[in-house]
Amino acid sequence: MRIVFYFLLCLSIGIESSSQKAEYFQFSIPTKKISYSVFDTAEFIDTRLTQDHVGIKRDGDRDRLVPVWLHAPLVVELKALIDSAIKTVPQQPNTLLINVRKFFISQYTGRFEFQVECYSKWEDGYWMVYQLDSFYKSLPRELNKKVNEVVEAFIYSIVRLDLSKTRRGKAVSYDYISNIDINEKKALPVFNVKTATRGVYYTYEEFKNNIPRVTMFNMAKRGNKLNSVFRPPVGNKLAKKIPRDSIYAVSDGEYTWLAAPHEYALLNKRGLDFFFSATAYENNKIEEVSLSFLFFGLPGVLVAAIPRRAMYEFRLNHINGKYILLRRAADR
């Protein structure tokens, strides 16, 4: 799918902080009628990668972007909305723990990303009862209204949950949810080995489970730079090149490469994460990169559109195998 990448342009803090006007998002009090609530207490955990701001917006008429803030922490604002929606209706004596994993408003592109998981508390355990991981598009000038509609629909959904279906499966602890990214990675085989098993991986599902689809193949490489991957010759048939855009990753047992849009990108393992550098173009046809992971670095720093071609550093998203944009890499 099409995206536009952005890179960080750090300017003088003193000059920019005095010239920029802070941009804030304002939540609307839910108006949809609620007749009852299956919980009387809402608790929150914020596991978003970036928690200081909730979006980006064009800086007036200039082709620059600035952060969008809230007047209070996101979980405080959401709790206030939920409390206001259920305060006058009958409530059942249950606790709902809400883990916010993604909440990002791009008023530049008209895109809102929202990922949240809800758990029902029973004694010291938590059972997941609701998941939402989606994005929403609208005209940039109408995005604020769309965000409030989505949040209101979310509140309306969770107050009507059937908690009688709760205690099925395995309960998790509060600490597990607080460190959910780390715990999820620990459960994925490829994130727990130094190098992936030798083979060709056609999907992220195969890669995260460290189970290559093809183990008989040839490569054209120099050092740790991979150029091409081939199916071995069979009988009188010559070796056939495997198109890069048909696979997800390749490993020779020593190095692992991601099949990025313009090259095979060498994966570097650090801790429980994979990092890599790859070429990106403006309006690149590439797997979605969530804008919610854009680093502003310092409050008030500006962001500009990327040049026509540049190298960027990414981190692998362990949930879906997509690319998390970190920063612009040094030019080739």
Beta bridge partners of 199: 251
Alpha helices in the chain (DSSP H): 13-19, 74-86, 143-158, 174-178, 180-186, 204-208
The residue extents of the domains of the chain are 6-185, 187-328
What is the value of pTM for the model shown?
A: 0.78
Q: For the chain, how many helices (H) and strands (E)? A: 6, 20
Question: Which has the higher per-residue pLDDT, 75 or 134?
Answer: 75
Are the CB atoms for 86 and 111 separated by under 8 Å? Answer: no
50 closest CA partner among 68, 25, 28, 77: 68
Query: How far, in Å, CA of 142 to CA of 264, rounded?
Result: 39
Question: Which has the higher per-residue pLDDT, 22 or 116?
Answer: 116
Query: How many other C-beta atoms lie within 10 A of the C-beta of residue 193?
Result: 11
Query: How many other C-beta atoms lie within 10 A of the C-beta of residue 155?
Result: 21
Averaged pLDDT, 130-134:
92
Structure letter (DSSP) for residue 286: -
* pLDDT tens digit sequence for 259-302: 988 899 999 999 999 999 988 754 443 333 334 334 333 223 33
- Cα dihedral 214, 216, 220, 222 sign: positive
Are the CB atoms for 70 and 25 separated by under 8 Å? Answer: yes
* pLDDT tens digit sequence for 99-117: 999 999 988 788 899 999 9
Structure letter (DSSP) for residue 237: B
* pLDDT tens digit sequence for 196-226: 999 999 999 999 999 999 999 999 999 999 9
132-141, 235-244, 266-275: lowest mean pLDDT where? 235-244
pLDDT of res. 12: 30
pLDDT of res. 59: 77
pLDDT of res. 109: 80
Query: How many other C-beta atoms lie within 10 A of the C-beta of residue 330?
Result: 8
* pLDDT tens digit sequence for 52-92: 889 888 777 666 778 899 999 999 999 999 999 999 999 99
Per-residue pLDDT band for 15 (boundaries 50, 70, 90) equals: very low
13-17, 88-92, 130-134: lowest mean pLDDT where? 13-17
Q: CB-based contacts of 23: which residues, under 8 Å, 6+ apart?
A: 57, 66, 67, 68, 69
Are the CB atoms for 238 and 229 separated by under 8 Å? Answer: no
22 closest CA partner among 50, 55, 51, 45: 55
**CATH fit for domain 6-185, picks 1.10.3470, 3.40.50, 3.40.1350, 3.30.70:** 3.40.50
pLDDT of res. 153: 96
175-179, 249-253, 288-292: lowest mean pLDDT where? 288-292
Query: How far, in Å, CA of 132 to CA of 156, rounded?
Result: 13
Question: Which has the higher per-residue pLDDT, 56 or 93?
Answer: 93
pLDDT of res. 26: 95
pLDDT of res. 19: 44
Averaged pLDDT, 122-151:
92
143-158 helix and 74-86 helix, angle to the nearest 10 degrees: 60
Q: CB-based contacts of 282: which residues, under 8 Å, 6+ apart?
A: 4, 5, 305, 306, 307, 308
